[in-house]
């Protein structure tokens, strides 16, 4: 399955009023939205979601931030969705993100960088499953 990815509009972007503008970017880039919901992660959920980073020095900062407010999770569909979405969001550090990317335009800092994107097809499937049941993914328009 290389046509689905998992995306999140992170708490900084929701707090800063960019949720609608980021949804516009998603639609303009021709992703189909299969599922979307507003969530607020607990600290434990954030630790589970980012478990791959648990040994990193920024793990506490990251999971505290990710559980600090509302976020929007999305399951997206497009050809080569994982790489297409990572191209749309730009580099992890907004200072290095190229013009026209979401992080360049809406990120706050390296730690609070507006959006998440799955980094592989395998992780996309795992992350979609973390937040959505199959019946919540709507592929017909």
Question: What are the residues binding ligand ATP (CB under 6 A)?
Answer: 53, 58, 61-62, 92, 110-111, 113, 116-117, 119
What residues from 91 to 120 belong to the interface with Mg ion (CB under 5 A)?
Answer: 119
Structure tokens at 85: 């979405």
CA distance 111 to 92: 9
Q: Name the active-site residue from 113, 116, 117, 131.
A: 116
Name the residue nearer to ligand ATP (CB basis): 35 or 90.
90
Q: Which does 130 bind (CB under 5 to 8 A by kind): Mg ion, ligand ATP, none?
A: none
CA distance 18 to 104: 13
Alpha-carbon dihedral sign for residues 20, 22, 23, 29: positive
Name the residue nearer to ligand ATP (CB basis): 58 or 130.
58
- Number of chain residues interacting with Mg ion (CB under 5 A): 1
Name the residue nearer to Mg ion (CB basis): 77 or 119.
119
Beta bridge partners of 6: 75
What residue ranges in the chain does DSSP mark as E strands?
4-9, 32-39, 71-77, 115-117
Q: Which does 62 bind (CB under 5 to 8 A by kind): ligand ATP, Mg ion, none?
A: ligand ATP
- Edge-first strand listing for the sheet containing 115-117: 32-39, 71-77, 4-9, 115-117
CB of 141 to ligand ATP, least distance (A): 27
Place of tokens 């499953």: 129
**Residue 53 is a catalytic residue:** no
Q: Which residues of this protein are in contact with Mg ion, per CB under 5 A?
A: 119
């Amino acid at each position: 399955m290389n046509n689905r990815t998992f995306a999140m509009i992170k708490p900084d972007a929701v707090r800063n009023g960019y949720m609608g503008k980021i949804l516009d970017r998603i639609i303009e880039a021709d992703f189909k939205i299969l599922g979307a919901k507003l969530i607020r992660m607990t600290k434990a959920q954030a630790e589970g979601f980012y478990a791959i980073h648990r040994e990193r020095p920024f793990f506490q900062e990251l999971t505290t931030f990710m559980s600090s407010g509302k976020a929007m999770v999305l399951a997206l569909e497009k050809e080569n969705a994982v790489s297409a979405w990572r191209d749309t969001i730009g580099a992890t550090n907004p200072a290095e993100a190229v013009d026209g990317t979401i992080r360049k335009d809406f990120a706050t800092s390296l730690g609070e960088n507006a959006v998440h994107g799955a980094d592989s097809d395998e992780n996309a499937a795992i992350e979609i499953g973390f937040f959505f049941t199959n019946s919540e993914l709507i592929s017909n328009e």
